[in-house]
Amino acid sequence: MSQAERDFSDTELLRYSRHILLDEVGIEGQRKLAQSSVLIVGLGGLGSPAALYLASAGVGRLMLADADTVELTNLQRQIVHREDSLGLSKVASAQRTLAGINAEVQVLPLAERLAGEALLAAVQAADVVLDCSDNFPTRHAVNRACMMAGKPLVSGAAVRFDGQFAVFDPRVPDSPCYRCLFGEDGEASDGPCATFGVFAPLVGIIGAMQAAEALKLLIGLPGVPLGRLLTLDLRSHDWRSLRFKRDPACPVCALRQH
């Protein structure tokens, strides 16, 4: 019998007690997390803290997608990986780390760059999708799959000292998608951190925000910031919130499930 099909044990009640004490979460909210599945695309700087928080919070199933292996330069900021993971696939490394944090969480490693039908199938199997990738083609592909499958998407990006964050939910009528905000003719770099550098704590902040909004979506908490792009300049710690609307001519929004 799976965790989602049985009552929490005394050990699990103790583990999640600080969540259960929250009126907004409680035992029913924690049960929703145990019954949920999240897809994380990219196990780098953003996906690392997001995966750690989602696993520790008790999300029942994490699907981890990344085709890369762990390199020494990753360890400056990709906190789910360890020195003894050098040379391993990032998903295998993350799976090992997460097992040491919460063995009750089912981790499905996908050591591939998801695309096409495989990407759509993974999105359809998730309740929430986190885009933690580092290039525009992947971001647009994930957005398109989420619109087609009707699944909420939590997007993050970080480079140098600058981060950004947004949530998209095709289940909400007239809400925008990633394509409404960013056209598909943007810079298609596969490794901006290698080119421009990145301040290590920045990805932790943005990745933790992605995990927080994913948990809110899974539990059904209000206050998800749809139609807003949050940006952070960590040099001055200035936050900006930019509002945007759905593009009525967006070809991707037309794919969403109604």
Catalytic positions: 193
Residue with tokens 């979460």: 25
DSSP characters for 158-221?
EEBTEEEEEEE-TTSTT---HHHHS-TTS---S-HHHHH-B-HHHHHHHHHHHHHHHHHHHHT-
Amino acid (one-letter) located at 145: A
Nearest to 226 by CA among 182, 178, 186, 184: 178
C-alpha 199: how far from chain center: 20
Check: CB of residue 179 under 8 Å from CB of residue 201: no
C-alpha 189: how far from chain center: 20
- Cα dihedral 249, 254, 256, 258 in deg (nearest 10): 110
Query: What one-character DSSP code corresponds to residue 221?
Result: -
